[in-house]
Amino acid sequence: MKPLIDITNLYNSKISILYINNEEYLNEVQKYNSKILKNYLKEYEHTLYLVSHYAKKTEEVNTFIKDLKISFFAIVNYKHSLIENITKEPIIKTIGFHPIVPFLVIPE
């Protein structure tokens, strides 16, 4: 998170967090993580957006960027299981090859 905080401080930015999930509501672990994230970002203007019904994650991300006039986009890259690698949409590759705004990938 440090690179994002540094950029936020440098440009006096707002942070918009997009969470795309198959479920409509956060589970207990996700709620806990959200609480920690909100606490970590308490000194910064931030908003959390939850998208649960979507066709393609890449389309949701691009719509989010356009609708909220996002000027910089960062994504956390985490290791996927073999099954996830086979079945999940390769968001980082798809967005990375055709970014509509500057794009930062943060390793887990």
Phi, psi dihedrals of residue 60, rounded to the nearest 5°: -60, -45
Q: What is the pLDDT along the chain (108 residues), one digit of tens a residue?
A: 888 899 899 999 999 998 888 888 888 998 998 999 999 999 999 999 998 888 888 888 889 999 999 999 887 766 655 454 444 555 666 665 677 888 777 777
CA distance 47 to 17: 6
Q: What is the pTM of this model?
A: 0.74
Task: Please state the domain extents for the chain.
Answer: 2-107
DSSP, collapsed to helix, strand or coil, labels residue 28 as helix
Closest CA to 16 of 67, 88, 57: 67
CA distance 67 to 11: 21
Fold designation for 2-107: Rossmann fold (3.40.50)
